């Protein structure tokens, strides 16, 4: 028997909340990656890792917030805890691979294409691994064409996100890029969900292994959300992340104290390493400072 699938159980609440989390993760991740590029003295691996974790947590949180609104009317839905956590690890790791490639090797065509494909396939793998973690009294079928379309959207979204990460500098432009990322990631998710159909085995209501959506997903979402909030605090208290390259340079120039011209003068060069540099006051006291005094001496 074909089950009645509904992806919007709570109306617009779950799609909007999922989109907001995708945008938040994208915005924080972009700013952290930009931070590693603006200052050569910063700890680059740390900033890139924080950016990858922010984007990965944002994508994973978006997916499972959206899944809270997914139901099959004829059967309950439960989730395998181990596979659900594994999907979070996959999201962070694959985004990290793409971020470190473009962070260290640049956004050349070959690097960007390779990193985008790897990251996009990883994001799609995270989604379908999360779907595989579902436990219900039935079998889930997928439309092959729609699945392929969702994977293509994931690759394009990942490539665009990585390009923005190494190209966009200003705060407002990063914010705009994160909004576009949110649309792309949410579009990938709901395209993939459009490929789903469920064949229910029966309406016996028997139990099966796994935790319900409310008992598993809501508590598990707390951790990534707290992480994103903490990452947001790091961004807010770093002026270089908030201002951007040009504004930070101007602010630094305004705060830099003026150096008196006398202190900027360089000591005269000497032809021999054994010559002793003589300052202006010392030169006036030397008996040979003028030809006339040298003759008198």
Q: How confident is the model at residue 128 (pLDDT cuts 50, 70, 90)?
A: very high
The pLDDT of residue 129 is above 50: yes
Contact 59, 25 (CB under 8 A): yes
Residue holding tokens 């839905």? 77
| Percent of the chain predicted with pLDDT > 90 | 13
| Percent of the chain predicted with pLDDT > 70 | 70
Distances in Å between the Cα of 166 and the Cα atoms of 2, 146, 184 are: 47, 31, 18
Tell me 279's DSSP state: -
Query: 195 or 7: which carries more pLDDT confidence?
Result: 195
The pLDDT of residue 144 is above 90: yes
Q: What does residue 37 show for φ and ψ, rounded to 5 degrees?
A: -95, -25
Q: 72 pairs with which residues across the strands?
A: 5, 75
Degrees to nearest 5, angle at CA 234 with 221 and 53? 45
Q: What is the pLDDT of residue 203?
A: 58
Q: What is the pLDDT of residue 213?
A: 57
Q: What is the pLDDT of residue 217?
A: 63
Average pLDDT, the chain: 75
Contact 188, 157 (CB under 8 A): yes
Q: What is the pLDDT of residue 268?
A: 47
Interval 160-188: pLDDT, tens: 888 887 787 677 777 788 888 888 889 99
Interval 219-268: pLDDT, tens: 667 777 787 777 777 767 665 555 544 444 444 444 444 444 444 444 44
Q: What is the pLDDT of residue 19?
A: 92
The pLDDT of residue 110 is above 70: yes
pTM above the 0.75 mark? no
Interval 47-95: pLDDT, tens: 889 888 988 888 998 988 888 888 888 888 888 888 888 998 999 999 9
Please state the length of the chain. Answer: 297
């Amino acid at each position: 028997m074909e089950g009645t699938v509904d992806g919007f159980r709570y109306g617009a609440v779950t799609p909007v909340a999922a989109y907001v989390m995708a945008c938040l993760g994208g915005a924080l991740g972009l700013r952290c990656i930009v931070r590693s590029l603006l200052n050569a003295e910063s700890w680059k691996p740390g900033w890139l890792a924080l950016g990858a974790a922010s984007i990965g947590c944002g994508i994973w949180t978006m997916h499972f917030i959206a899944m809270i609104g997914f139901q099959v009317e004829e059967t309950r839905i439960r989730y395998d805890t181990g596979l659900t956590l594994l999907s979070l690890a996959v999201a962070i790791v694959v985004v990290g691979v793409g971020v470190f490639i473009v962070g260290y090797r640049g956004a050349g065509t070959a690097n960007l294409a390779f990193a985008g494909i790897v990251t996009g396939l990883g994001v799609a793998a995270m989604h379908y691994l999360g779907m595989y973690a579902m436990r219900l009294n039935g079998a889930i079928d997928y439309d092959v064409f729609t699945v392929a379309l969702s994977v293509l959207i994931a690759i394009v979204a990942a490539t665009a996100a990585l390009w923005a990460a190494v190209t966009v500098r200003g705060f407002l432009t990063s914010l705009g890029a994160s909004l576009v990322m949110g649309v792309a990631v949410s579009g990938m998710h709901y395209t993939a969900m459009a490929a789903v159909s469920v064949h229910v085995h029966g309406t016996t209501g028997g139990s099966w292994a796994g935790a319900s959506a409310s008992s598993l997903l809501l508590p598990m979402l707390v951790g990534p959300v707290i992480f994103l909030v903490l990452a947001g605090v790091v961004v807010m208290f770093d002026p270089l992340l908030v201002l951007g390259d040009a504004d930070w340079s101007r602010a630094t120039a305004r705060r830099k104290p003026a150096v008196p011209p006398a202190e900027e003068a360089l000591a005269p060069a000497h032809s021999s390493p054994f010559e002793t540099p003589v300052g202006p006051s010392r030169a006036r006291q030397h008996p040979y400072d003028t030809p006339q005094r040298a003759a008198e001496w």
